[in-house]
Chain A
Amino acid sequence: MDVKKYVIKQISIFSENRPGRLAAIAHALGEENVNILAFSIAEANGFGVVRALVDQPEKAYKKLSSIGFNVAFTDVIAVHMQDRPGGLYEIAKMLGDANINIEYSYAYSGKEGAVLILRVDQVVDAIEKISKSGATLIESSVFH
């Protein structure tokens, strides 16, 4: 199995926790015609990390770095979920049974059903376990 095609490049952006920072990020991406497919914000005391899946990660990285943001690429994986009650439970149970530890996660309602984005420690290991469990992984080509 070619695991690489399931590895998705998320961009992570360090941001101070003050008004206007998200607008600055979104404005910059809009200017570059970069489309945001999914995103989440994690906040701590005084700062936060904005995480996003975009259609053109390299372009987004370059643009945000050039205006002074601290940006990094992070490998994540995406799992297809049934868009109905109990959908999240099925996936979560499968991950638990497979002993996959989630660093963080966020979801979005995709064009062909709901999608769970996962940040895990051992990406390759997780991809193999999830495929074996019968769940559907989404290829990175769907995003970019």
Chain B
Amino acid sequence: MRCWEPRIEEMPTAELKEMQYKLLKSLVYRLYSFSPFYHDRMKEQNVHPDDIRELLDVRKLPFMFKRDLRDSYPDKIFTATQEELVRYHVSSGTTGKPTVVGYTQNDLNGWTTSLARALTSIGLGRGDVIQVSYGYGLFTGGLGLHYGAERIGATVLPTSVGNTERQIELMQDLGSTAIACTPSYLLHMGEVAEKMGLSIKKDTKLKAGILGAEPWTERMRTRMEEWLGIKAFDIYGTSELSGPMFTECTEQNGFHVWSDMALTEIIDPKTGEPVAPGENGELTITILQKEALPMIRYRIGDITSMDEDVCPCGRTHPRVQRIQGRVDDMLIIRGINVFPSQVEYALMAIPEVGQHFQIVVDRKGALDDMLVRVELNKESFSDKITDLMIIKERIEHKLRNALNVNADVELVEPGSLPRYEGKSKKVLDRRSL
């Protein structure tokens, strides 16, 4: 099957936008009338539902942030009563208080439909065996994929996480054709399989990976596809949106966000204004059809770009590119947004330096000063200062091209930079503002 709901997925763009406008309009009326939270927010912003006269008027509406959800713990901004809810999911709360998401039956149906469309778009359906190796429970990944996979008529193998050897045996014995898990878990499975004397490429029927819930790169995609003999697809979602919702199609060029469910904007996190088409900015989503926890202009905090052209697969819904970083990691250097991930990406293309780096931001007079410290590779060391200066200048040039802002580069001794897991700790901001 090519499309789960071709009438919607391939709807001409103008009609799709008209549909979004109608959904937005009724959402705003509903929330203004029935949600004290949104009513107050709209009053504060001095905007009334009658002010929404076209789709772009969404920009008149107030933003909503993660902290709004935390502050309303557990269910203060739900727009459905507990009797109307059929399920709760709770996010882990690693960066603060947990957040609770409630679902009505219609909310679950919408979520499941979203995944049914997504799984169909990567070529899965009846006859496939989909191994769900996301956690089942309060986390949305396991149950979300489970219902989506059942809806398209595939056979679900609900292995959840852990017990990797048993997972690989079952993958082989029951002929899993697709697996949904984190990219790092799939890499781990590949290694465990080899220790067991098995090759996922040769000894299993696996053909697709539905990978998400953590950041990954094109380089990892290439590696997994070659090594494991699969196609690797990015899946995106957050518990606030319901859970995992959107995947790439077979074009593997950004995930389709279903326009009848979500209105996507990419905004400048600093000004709140829309960025130019194709530019990076903060993903902001208005959830159009949910009953229990709809959201207006929810700022997820993920940085990415969006392509609104019709996809070669025929779907008219916009594609959002792989997540580039988090707003929390963003630095503003002389008024320009800089993400550590951009620095990392630029350095990856320079063979003379290792992958470890540190960004030091300081203020010289009135100007921000950015220094990137990189470790010189053993092979690239030269006894001639001129050779080393050429390397340094080449890195500075590449960084300037990638970041649109000048950065000084300091070559440091191998192994001298601190090793951290998270990106944000790679930044030392010495500016006292």
Taking A43-B385, A74-B383 as given, write out 17 further A-B residue pairs in contact, using a Cβ cutoff of 8 Å, ordered by the A residue number: A14-B413, A44-B385, A44-B389, A45-B392, A45-B410, A47-B411, A48-B385, A49-B385, A49-B388, A51-B383, A68-B413, A68-B415, A72-B381, A72-B383, A103-B384, A104-B384, A119-B384
Smallest CB–CB gap between B156 and chain A, Å?
51
The residues of A that contact B382 with a CB separation of less than 8 Å are: 12, 72
| 16 A-B pairs in the complex with CB atoms less than 8 angstroms apart | A10-B383, A12-B383, A16-B412, A42-B385, A43-B385, A44-B388, A44-B389, A45-B392, A46-B410, A49-B383, A49-B388, A68-B415, A68-B416, A70-B376, A70-B378, A103-B384
Interface of chain B residues 177 through 220 with chain A (CB within 8 A): none
A25 to chain B, nearest CB (A): 11
Q: Which of B383, B384, B413 has most chain A Cβ within 10 Å?
A: B383
Give the interface centre of B385, B410, B416 by most chain A CB atoms within 10 Å: B385
Residues of B within 8 A of A (CB): 376, 378, 381-385, 388-389, 392, 410-416
CA distance A138 to B384 in the complex (A): 23
User: Which residue in A44, A69, A72, A104 is a CB contact (below 8 Å) of B413?
Assistant: A69
Contact call B389/A14, Cβ cutoff below 8 A: no
Instruction: Please determine whether B416 and A14 come into contact, CB atoms closer than 8 angstroms.
Output: no
Q: Are the C-beta atoms of B388 and A119 separated by less than 8 Å? A: no
- Give the residue name and chain of the B residue nearest to A48 (CB): B385
Binding site for B on A (CB under 8 A): 10, 12, 14-16, 42-49, 51, 68-72, 74, 103-104, 119
Distance from B298 Cβ to chain A, minimum over Cβ atoms (Å):
44
Instruction: Find out whether the CB atom of A70 lies under 8 angstroms from the CB atom of B385.
Output: no
Partner of A70, one of B381, B389, B392, B410: B381
Whole-angstrom distance from the CB of B359 to the nearest CB of chain A? Answer: 15
Shortest distance between the CB of A117 and any CB in chain B (Å): 12
Query: Across the interface, which residues of A come within 8 angstroms of B378, CB to CB?
Result: 70
A72–B163 alpha-carbon span in the complex (Å): 47
> How far is B378's CA from A44's CA once the two chains are assembled, in angstroms?
18
| A44 nearest CB neighbor, chain B only | B385
Closest residue of chain B to A49, judged by CB? Answer: B383
Chain B residue nearest in CB terms to A14: B381
Complexed CA–CA distance, A69 and B381 (Å):
11
Q: Give every chain B residue within 8 A of A104 (Cβ-Cβ).
A: 384
Within the complex, what minimum Cβ distance (angstroms) separates B428 from chain A?
15
Assembled-state Cα–Cα distance A45/B385 (Å): 10
In the complex, what distance in Å separates the CA atom of A51 from the CA atom of B384? 10
Which residue on chain A has the smallest CB distance to residue B375? Answer: A70
Partner of A46, one of B381, B383, B384, B411: B411
Chain A nearest CB, measured from B155 CB (Å): 54
Contacts of A44 in B (CB 8 A): 385, 388-389, 392
A119 to B383, alpha carbons, bound, how many Å? 10
Q: Which residues of B sit under 8 angstroms from A48, Cβ to Cβ?
A: 385
Determine whether the beta carbon of B414 is less than 8 Å from that of A70.
yes
Nearest CB on A from B351, distance (A): 15
List B contacts of A16 (CB < 8 A): 412-413, 416
In the bound complex, residues from chain B placing their C-beta under 8 Å from that of A70 are: 376, 378, 381, 413-414
Docked complex Cα distance between A71 and B415 (Å) = 14
How far is the CB of A36 from the nearest CB of chain B, in Å? 16
A72–B383 alpha-carbon span in the complex (Å): 7
| Distance between Cα atoms of A12 and B414 in the complex (Å) | 15
Q: How far is the CA of A61 from the CA of B410 in the complex (A)?
A: 24
CA distance A44 to B228 in the complex (A): 47
Q: Are A47 and B383 in contact (CB under 8 A)?
A: no
Cβ contacts under 8 Å, A68 to chain B: 413-416
Instruction: Name which of A10, A14, A43, A68 has the most chain B CB atoms within 10 A of its CB.
Output: A14
The 9 A-B pairs of least Cβ separation, nearest first, read: A12-B383, A74-B383, A46-B410, A70-B381, A68-B415, A42-B385, A44-B385, A47-B411, A14-B381
Shortest Cβ gap from B354 to chain A (Å): 11
Taking CB atoms, residues of chain A closer than 8 Å to B415 are 68
In whole Å, how far is B417's beta carbon from the nearest beta carbon of chain A?
Answer: 11
Q: Which residues of B contact A103 (CB under 8 A)?
A: 384
